[in-house]
Amino acid sequence: MLTANQREAVRYWEIRRLIINVLMIGAAYFGWGIANSFNVGIDELPGARFSDPGIATDFCWVFVSLNLVFCVGYAGEYFLQTEPKKKFWPWPARTILLCVISLFLLGLASKAGTRLAYYTSIEKAMYPSKK
């Protein structure tokens, strides 16, 4: 059974995981759009589309990986729960940890969207017979 502190910690991180997932989708889409604009406008490569083969699978793997990175918050919480509550924990340390992890994940999601669009455009340019 989970203790009251553990239940409260799981509730804290899981609610924020949903919010971060929505923000990561937006960041990945933003990176995808920026990369597509540069690929088509500057490099004159064919634009990548979400319907291209393998893109949905790649995005799923990216988000699974990013959610595993989010679990660093749980690990920090686990190690800090062994001690009694102090002035710094859970507030503001939790918020600081959440902000650092969130910024890191949003950057990674944006970079992943950019890379997926770029490599899809390169592949379409190299093998024009594929869709």
Residue 29 placed within a domain: yes
Residue 88 placed within a domain: yes
pLDDT at 16: 92
CA 117 distance to own-chain centroid: 16
- Confidence class for position 54, pLDDT limits 50, 70, 90: confident
CB 33 within 8 A of CB 115: no
pLDDT at 130: 56
User: Does the model's pTM come out above 0.85?
Assistant: no
Question: Percent helix, strand, coil in the chain (nearest 5)?
Answer: 75, 0, 25
Total structural domains within the chain: 1
Ranking 12-21, 35-44, 46-55, 121-130 by mean pLDDT, the lowest is: 121-130
Amino acid at 69: V
Residue 101 placed within a domain: yes
Contacts of 53 (CB under 8 A, 6+ apart): 130, 131
The residue segments making up the domain with residue 76 are: 25-126
Distance CA 66, CA 38 (A): 25
Residue 1 placed within a domain: no
